[in-house]
């Protein structure tokens, strides 16, 4: 049985409640994103659909006629690194590919059905996709917001698509090291490339188009962290060095996040450090002091962030993000498209219990209808309170907030559209 936050807590979650949860950075305030003028009508339709569905004895009304607002798009499973800390190690370099025209058809149909943003990300290195440039160019022609997460080895290709990107788009490079020595040990690039060579591209990309932000992503690892029964190279001593490097090479920010591993019970992605563990205090204190030191490097044009899941880990509130309602409503608003199939959440890439269909799940009207049915079934069947009980779920607040609206649909009348400037549709 899922534990519902108390009334005061829900007030804090609600965009109409005025305040927000302290740890949620604006990019992770998904409830606020769902009340933007363009999205609010479909939020209302979804809430009313759920409210009606729950009061019906039998039969299921079709899900409202929308594609997700936002998807994670894995362009390929191919990767040119062999990172020791990769959560997707088991799904890399598969011999499964998109039929390119079907991929474009899927994206175009999703745009017609309300898709507003795409995060081009992993389960593989996106710049290795043969028609990377064309996909980015097309998505921008369709007025999508586009983000790219890359390992940096394909920065030449990022530079090629830079002219298409706009202020609200972003690029983030997963680098995780301050020195080349630790970078090589952690990432093991198959073709020689140094951390300096990667970073030297950033000023060049900015010279082509300075309008969008480029971030340096740093997953913090510590002694004793492990995944797939293998120990991970610790980089905790390079937090400051990496921030110095990021600033020197004109990144707009560096973001620190905790290392993730896979849960034994269902392969969910979970943080590999618990407040109950013996070494927690030592690791947490070291992270706090090093990130604080890095913060001294901040300027108007360079920021140092802790991601939401690092903040909640350090302030010992991660457990509140692990108490999910039974239904995960975010499955309707955000999904993952990969050559391996369509999935309900980035946490369940290539996991059969999160599967919504195959890679062409949105490639035709007929497939779209089937995927809608499957999405409705999974929203009904997938018990997030059980499956995601160890996941520090960043969508936890948005899910509880929607749950409260479904239980009290009259509250929808109080919801006013709230524009953001610029609009942010990344979920």
Q: Is 269 in contact with 347 (CB distance < 8 Å)? A: yes
Selected range binding ligand SF4 among 147-155, 176-184, 271-279, 322-330, rule: CB under 6 A: 322-330
Element (H, E) at 258: strand 253-258
Closest CA to 214 of 124, 302, 85, 135: 302
Identified binder of ligand SF4 from the candidate list 118, 314, 393, 427, rule CB under 6 A: 393
The nearest distance, CB 356 to ligand SF4, in angstroms, is 12
What is the CA angle 380-381-384, rounded to 5? 95
Residues 162-181 that bind ligand SF4 (CB under 6 A): none
Minimum separation from the CB atom of position 16 to ligand SF4 (A): 22
Q: What distance in Å separates the CA atoms of residue 397 and residue 16, rounded to the nearest whole number?
A: 14
Judged by DSSP in three states, 33 sits in: helix
**Least distance from ligand SF4 to the Cβ atom of residue 56, Å:** 23
Smallest separation (angstroms) from ligand SF4 to the CB of 321: 9
CB 371 within 8 A of CB 379: no
User: Binders of ligand SF4 among 327-386, rule CB under 6 A?
Assistant: 328, 330, 344-345, 347, 384
Cβ closest to ligand SF4, residue 144 vs residue 388: 388
Rounded Cα distance between 417 and 419, Å, is 6
Q: Are 193 and 150 in contact (CB under 8 A)?
A: no
Distance between CA atoms of residues 135 and 133, nearest Å: 6
Q: Do the beta carbons of residue 44 and residue 52 sit within 8 Å?
A: no
How much of the chain is helix, strand and coil, in % rounded to 5?
45, 15, 45
CB of 81 to ligand SF4, least distance (A): 26
Which of 43, 19, 10, 30 minimizes the C-alpha distance to 404? 10
Beta bridge partners of residue 227, listed in sequence order: 230
**CA dist., res. 108 & res. 130, Å (int):** 19
CB of 412 to ligand SF4, least distance (A): 22
Q: By CB under 6 A, how many residues form the interface with ligand SF4?
A: 12
**Cα–Cα distance between 109 and 370 in angstroms, integer?**
14
- Closer to ligand SF4 by CB, 170 or 395: give it: 395
Cα–Cα nearest to 215, from 249, 173, 178: 173
The CB-of-179 to ligand SF4 minimum distance in angstroms stands at: 34
What stretches of 167-212 adopt beta strand conformation (E)? 170-174
Contact between 427 and ligand SF4 (CB under 6 A)? no
Q: Minimum CB separation from ligand SF4 for residue 330, in Å?
A: 4
**Closer by beta carbon to ligand SF4, 69 or else 345:** 345
Considering the rule CB under 6 A, would residue 395 count as an interface residue with ligand SF4?
A: yes
- Closer residue to ligand SF4 (CB): 103 or 406: 406
388 is a site residue for ligand SF4 (CB under 6 A) = yes
- Pick from 86, 165, 391, 402: which binds ligand SF4 (CB under 6 A)? 391
Nearest distance, CB of residue 269 and ligand SF4, angstroms: 8
70 binds ligand SF4 (CB under 6 A): no
Is 220 a binder of ligand SF4 (CB under 6 A)?
A: no
Cα separation of the two ends of the chain: 27
| Window of 106-114, 177-185, 216-224, 388-396 that interacts with ligand SF4 by CB under 6 A | 388-396
User: Can you tell me the distance from the alpha carbon of 186 to that of 225, in angstroms, rounded to the nearest whole number?
Assistant: 13
CB of 396 to ligand SF4, least distance (A): 6
Among 261, 324, 351, 371, binds ligand SF4 (CB under 6 A): 324
| Residue numbers at the binding site for ligand SF4 (CB under 6 A) | 324, 328, 330, 344-345, 347, 384, 388, 391, 393, 395, 399
């Amino acid at each position: 049985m899922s534990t519902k936050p108390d009334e005061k807590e829900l007030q804090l979650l609600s965009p109409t409640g005025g305040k927000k949860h302290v740890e949620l950075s604006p990019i992770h305030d998904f409830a606020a994103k769902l009340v933007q003028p363009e999205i609010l009508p479909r939020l209302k339709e979804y809430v009313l659909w759920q409210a009606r569905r729950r009061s019906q004895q039998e039969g299921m009304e079709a899900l409202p006629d929308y594609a997700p607002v936002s998807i994670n798009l894995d362009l390929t499973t191919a990767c040119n690194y062999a990172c020791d800390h990769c959560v997707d190690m088991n799904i890399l370099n598969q011999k499964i590919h998109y039929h390119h025209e079907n991929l474009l058809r899927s994206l175009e149909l999703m745009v017609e059905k309300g898709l507003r943003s795409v995060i081009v990300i992993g389960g593989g290195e996106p710049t290795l996709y043969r028609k990377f440039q064309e996909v980015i160019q097309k998505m921008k022609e369709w007025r999508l917001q586009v983000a790219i997460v890359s390992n940096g080895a394909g920065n030449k290709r990022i530079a090629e698509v830079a002219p298409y990107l706009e202020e609200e788009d972003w690029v983030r490079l997963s680098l995780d090291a301050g020195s080349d020595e630790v970078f090589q040990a952690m990432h093991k690039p198959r073709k020689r490339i140094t951390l300096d060579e990667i970073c030297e591209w950033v000023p060049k990309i900015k010279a082509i188009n300075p309008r969008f932000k480029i971030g340096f992503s740093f997953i913090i690892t510590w002694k004793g962290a492990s995944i797939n029964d293998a120990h991970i190279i610790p980089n905790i001593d390079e937090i400051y060095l990496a921030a110095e490097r990021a600033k020197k090479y004109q990144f707009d920010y560096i973001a620190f996040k905790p290392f993730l591993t896979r849960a034994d019970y269902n392969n969910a992605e979970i943080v590999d450090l618990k407040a109950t563990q013996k070494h927690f205090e030592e690791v947490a204190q070291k992270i706090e002091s090093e990130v604080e030191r890095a913060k001294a490097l901040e300027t108007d044009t360079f920021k140092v962030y802790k991601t939401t899941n690092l903040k909640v880990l350090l302030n010992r509130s991660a457990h509140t993000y692990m108490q999910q309602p039974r239904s995960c409503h975010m499955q309707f608003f955000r999904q993952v498209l990969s050559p391996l199939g369509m999935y309900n959440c980035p946490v369940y890439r290539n996991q059969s219990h999160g599967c919504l269909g195959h890679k062409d799940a949105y490639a035709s009207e007929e497939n779209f209808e089937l995927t809608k049915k499957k999405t409705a079934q999974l929203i009904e069947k997938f018990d997030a309170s059980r499956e995601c009980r160890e996941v520090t779920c960043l969508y936890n607040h948005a899910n509880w907030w929607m749950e409260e609206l479904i239980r009290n649909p009259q509250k929808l009348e109080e919801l006013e559209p709230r524009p953001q400037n610029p609009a942010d549709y990344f979920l």
